[in-house]
Amino acid sequence: MLVQIKHVLGEHELKQAQDLLLNAKFRDGKLSAGIAAQLVKNNEELSNEKVIAELDQIIMDNLVRHPEYQHAALPHRIAAPFYVRYKKGMEYGDHIDDPIMGEGQRYRSDIAITIFLTSPKEYEGGELIIQSPYGEQKIKCPAGDAVLYPASTRHHITPITRGERLVAVTWVQSLIRNNEQRYLLYQLSHTREKMLRKDPNSEDTKRIDNVYVNLVRMWSEV
């Protein structure tokens, strides 16, 4: 399942985030990479804890409140994000995310999320390429938007040829471990909400509501 979430950040929040990142300190992204990722990872990650905390309040608070995120992810746990910069010549080669992440409280990485913090007009290259059963999916979203996709898929970031690419990346352990089941629930949730708004007392609405709620109960893991 690949879902684009529009307007995670509004213009004001996006400007706040960009201003915080403007003169912030970054370090080599390889420092947070596993053995396999170190061979293909070439980017920088924000290292200023104070700035990270401020960005988390702006970006992550908006993400976790977004109804589309809730529908698509059915989140159980979400990781602390990395704020990542790609400058000219940088890229992230083909890789797959670690299945278990975190320190202390560990979590399973079911879903990967990228939140775009720079406009596509500000850089060339830097596409997120995701391998899917339907071929390569090329992702380059507007600033303020996010994309969710299964962390189990192989993906890479193409080399930057002009400008800078700034993103926040994080991972979710979903209540629904199986990607196909999660996608079915995502589709069903939208139909259910429309029916609940339009005709909440109809028998069809009650049936759809019953099916959705009990499928979540049947498939969820906590």
pLDDT value of residue 160: 98
Average pLDDT over residues 195-213: 98
Q: Which residues, 6 or more positions from 170, have their beta carbon under 8 angstroms from its beta carbon? A: 60, 63, 78, 79, 80, 81, 82, 112, 113, 115
pLDDT per residue as tens digits for the range 63-104? 999 999 999 999 999 999 999 999 999 999 999 999 999 887
pLDDT value of residue 222: 82
Which H/E stretch holds residue 183?
A: helix 179-198
Evaluate if pTM is beyond 0.85: yes
Task: Name 44's bridge partners.
Answer: 28, 85
Average pLDDT over residues 5-32: 96
Is the pLDDT at 133 greater than 90? The verdict is no
pLDDT value of residue 84: 98
Is the pLDDT at 190 greater than 90? The verdict is yes
Q: How confident is the model at residue 38 (pLDDT cuts 50, 70, 90)?
A: confident
The mean pLDDT value of the chain amounts to: 96
**Structural fold of domain 3-174:** Jelly Rolls (2.60.120)
Lowest average pLDDT, out of 60-74, 111-125, 126-140, 156-170, goes to: 126-140
Q: At what angle do helices 203-219 and 179-198 cross, to 10 degrees?
A: 150
Q: Domain segments of the chain: what residues? A: 3-174, 179-219
**Residue 64 has which token pair?**
């976790």
